[in-house]
């Protein structure tokens, strides 16, 4: 069965970076794009970007360009999301979400989420 298991909660200081992992299993890793979505407390989800695990090509939402890096490790079927220059507004739960094959807008499996708290 498809599983996306994310790394644990993080507390970071303003100005620091955070790197979250999403380990995939139960399917062919390189065949499915992966989205990253975050959700601030009490707010709706916000799309961050998408990565193609096959060639590591990634697209970021405009508001994250320059401080979001999406990567993958095919040897461990793990994807990574790194966000730099953190501020308190980056406090959120971060999710990886597998894209339905052939569709940019559909997702079928989500990770459990990783809480990132940014505080001095």
Partner 1 sequence: NFLLTQPHSVSGSPGKTVSISCTRNSGSIASTYVQWYQQRPASAPTTVIYEDTQRPSGVPDRFSGSIDTSSNSASLTISGLKTEDEATYYCHSYDSANLNWVFGGGTRLTVL
Positions that interact with partner 1 (CB under 8 A): 35, 37, 43-47, 50, 59, 61-62, 95, 97, 104-108, 110-113
Is residue 34 within 8 Å of 21, Cβ to Cβ? Answer: no
Least distance CB 4 / partner 1 (angstroms): 9
Least distance CB 8 / partner 1 (angstroms): 15
* Nearer residue to partner 1 within complex by CB, 16 or 39: 39
**Is residue 106 classed as helix, strand or coil in its secondary structure?**
coil
DSSP 42-103: TS-EEEEEEE-TTT--EEE-GGGTTTEEEEEETTTTEEEEEE-S--GGG-EEEEEEEEPTT-
* φ/ψ of residue 89, rounded to 5: -75, -10
Least distance CB 15 / partner 1 (angstroms): 27
Least distance CB 105 / partner 1 (angstroms): 4
* Nearer residue to partner 1 within complex by CB, 89 or 120: 89
Q: How far apart are CA 33 and CA 54, in angstroms?
A: 8
* Nearer residue to partner 1 within complex by CB, 11 or 100: 100
* Nearer residue to partner 1 within complex by CB, 44 or 75: 44
């Amino acid at each position: 069965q498809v599983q996306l298991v994310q790394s644990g909660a993080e507390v970071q200081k303003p100005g620091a970076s955070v790197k979250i992992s999403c380990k995939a299993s139960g399917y062919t890793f390189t065949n499915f794009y992966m989205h990253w979505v975050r959700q601030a407390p009490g707010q709706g989800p916000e799309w961050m970007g998408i990565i193609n695990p096959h060639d590591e090509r990634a697209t970021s939402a405009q508001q994250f360009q320059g401080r979001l890096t999406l990567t993958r490790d095919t040897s461990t079927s793990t994807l990574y999301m790194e966000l730099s220059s953190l501020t308190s507004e980056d406090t959120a739960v971060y999710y990886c979400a597998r894209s339905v094959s052939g569709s940019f807008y559909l997702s079928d499996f989500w990770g459990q989420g990783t809480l990132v708290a940014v505080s001095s």
